[in-house]
């Protein structure tokens, strides 16, 4: 009798638990929230483009109610390779983690900065595009691209250009592309690498470098703070987030470049988790919270989920390889 009661009670509890679990799942699917939480892994220090993208995305997802909670972890080192290696080596315990990355994951695998490439990870979604920009301190004698190019042509060794990426990385590549388009020798660029955008900014303000090659969204934040002047942007036309910034093209330098940023997960991620991440990001684009973040930073929406992301990256890998060989970086 006692055994019967115990069995009956256990069965009743199981039915109730299952019903609650099923109800919760249905409510979550039909409701607004897609995920309880996301942990964002940032492969660089505070103040850089990766940092801003992860925190901006987390802000939009949580404020819109699509994700309950977002946490952030900066893991600098190895040009981003430390974070990639960590995610791969600890894959099973990081199913709740999204790592932000961008064009450098393609460039740095080509230049063998780290042994991994995008194919070693689970591709979740490409999300935005951020133009590149060159900036100078507000007190600099250089006021535009003509001034920078003239000083560079006169003595390249005295015109150091810094960036938050490794030599041969994206910030270096942009500086070289600009100088080549301006009729100067791109291989003469004296490039100083910093581990993150914030450290590169410190180098600019200290006078260690004459100009900084950075993402447009970072440049806008620094310009609005009164720290820098944006002397050139790699867009086709002026960007609404900061219309005072001239494009390279309107200054006679035929350079266009946009850096995608997106999110990766650990290899072997369960498909249901992958689909939940993709769904949250897809829904994010239709929220006013995302539009506020996007417009504030001057980002362009570039949505490439899953397999489309893989195709996009393979194409960029081929294009960047050709360009880097042309510039002597490979």
Residue 287, CB-side half-sphere exposure with 13 Å CA sphere: 21
Residue 182 has pLDDT above 70, yes or no: yes
Residue 6 lies in a domain: no
**What confidence score (pLDDT) does residue 328 get?**
81
**CA 167/CA 176 separation, integer angstroms:** 11
The beta-strand segments (E) located in 43-148 are: 67-74, 97-102, 122-137
Query: Do residues 89 and 232 both lie within one domain?
Result: no
Domain boundary among 251, 286, 316: 251
Q: Which of 251, 280, 310 is the last residue of a domain?
A: 251
Helix axes 49-63, 271-284, angle to 10 degrees: 90
Of all residues in the chain, the percent with pLDDT exceeding 90 is 69
Q: In this structure, what token pair is assigned to residue 250?
A: 């309107």
pLDDT for residue 9: 44
125 & 135 share domain: no
- Answer whether residue 276 is part of any domain: yes
- In-domain check, residue 21: no
Residue 271 in this model has a pLDDT that exceeds 60: yes
User: Averaged over 209-219, what is the pLDDT?
Assistant: 93
Quote the CA–CA distance of 306 and 194 in Å, as a whole number.
31
How far is it, in rounded angstroms, from Cα 213 to Cα 224? 17
Rounded CA gap, 8 and 18, in Å?
15
The pairing of beta strand 97-102 with beta strand 258-265:
antiparallel
CATH of the domain at 301: 3.40.190.150
CA 276 to each of CA 35, 93, 172, 305, 320: distance values in angstroms, whole numbers, following the listed order = 7, 17, 36, 12, 31
Closest CA to 285 of 297, 302, 268: 302
Tell me: do 239 and 150 sit in the same domain: yes
Q: Are 112 and 191 in contact (CB under 8 A)?
A: no
- Per-residue pLDDT reduced to its tens digit, 228-255: 999 999 999 999 889 999 999 999 999 9
**Same domain (yes/no): 125, 139:** no
* pLDDT at 19 exceeding the cut of 90: no
Quickly count helices (H) and strands (E) in the chain. 11, 10
The two three-digit tokens of residue 264, written as one number: 């990766």
> pLDDT tens for residues 89-99?
999 999 999 99
Residue 214 parent element (H or E): strand 211-215
For residue 172, being part of any structural domain is answered with yes
- Give the residue numbers spanning the domain of 190: 131-251
Question: What CATH number has the domain bearing residue 182?
Answer: 3.40.190.10
> Does some domain include residue 4?
no
Looking at 59-68, 106-115, 193-202, which range is the least confident one?
193-202
Residue 23, domain member (yes or no): no
pLDDT exceeds cutoff 60 at 57: yes
Domain assignment present for 56: yes
Query: Whole-model pTM?
Result: 0.74
Domain boundary (217, 251, 285) is at: 251
Letter string b/e over residues 295-308, b meaning 16 or more CB atoms within 10 A of that residue's CB: eebbbeebebbbee
Q: Which two tokens stand for residue 315?
A: 């194409």
Residue 197 has a pLDDT of 62
Same domain assignment for residues 152 and 238: yes
Paired tokens of 147: 């001034």
In a domain, 69, yes or no: yes
Q: Which two tokens stand for residue 294?
A: 């996007």
By CB atoms closer than 10 A (0-12, 13-18, 19+), residue 23 is exposed
Identify the pLDDT of residue 38: 98
- CA distances for 187 relative to 157, 167, 317, angstroms: 11, 12, 21
Is residue 92 located within the same domain as residue 169? no
* Number of domains forming the structure of the chain: 2
Residue 310 tokens read as 């893989």
């Amino acid at each position: 009798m006692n055994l019967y009661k115990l069995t009956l009670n256990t069965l009743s509890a199981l039915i109730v638990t299952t019903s609650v679990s099923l109800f919760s799942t249905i409510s979550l699917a039909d409701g607004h929230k897609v995920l309880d939480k996301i942990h964002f892994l940032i492969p660089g220090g505070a103040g850089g483009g990766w940092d801003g993208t992860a925190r901006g995305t987390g802000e939009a997802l949580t404020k819109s109610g699509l994700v309950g909670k977002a946490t952030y972890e900066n893991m600098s080192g190895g040009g981003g390779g430390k974070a990639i290696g960590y995610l791969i080596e600890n894959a099973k315990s990081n199913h709740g983690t999204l790592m932000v990355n961008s064009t450098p994951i393609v460039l740095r695998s080509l230049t063998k900065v780290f042994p991994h490439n995008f194919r070693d990870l689970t591709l979740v979604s490409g999300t935005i595009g951020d133009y590149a920009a060159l900036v100078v301190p507000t007190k600099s004698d250089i006021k535009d691209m003509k001034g920078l190019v003239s000083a560079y042509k006169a003595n390249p060794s005295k015109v150091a250009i810094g960036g938050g990426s490794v030599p041969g990385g994206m910030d270096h590549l942009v500086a070289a592309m600009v100088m080549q388009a301006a009729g100067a020798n791109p291989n003469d660029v004296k490039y100083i690498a910093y581990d993150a955008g914030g450290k590169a900014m410190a180098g600019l303000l200290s006078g260690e470098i004459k100009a900084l090659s950075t993402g447009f969204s970072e440049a806008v934040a620094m310009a609005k703070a009164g720290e820098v002047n944006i002397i050139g942007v790699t867009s086709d036309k002026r960007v609404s987030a900061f219309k005072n910034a001239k494009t390279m093209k309107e200054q006679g330098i035929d350079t266009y470049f946009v850096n995608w940023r997106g999110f990766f997960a650990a290899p072997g991620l369960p498909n249901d988790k992958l689909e939940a991440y993709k769904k949250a990001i897809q829904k994010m684009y239709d929220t006013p919270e995302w539009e506020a973040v996007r417009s504030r930073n001057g980002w362009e929406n570039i949505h490439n989920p899953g397999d489309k992301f893989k195709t996009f990256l393979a194409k960029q890998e081929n294009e960047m390889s050709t360009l880097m060989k042309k510039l002597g970086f490979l």
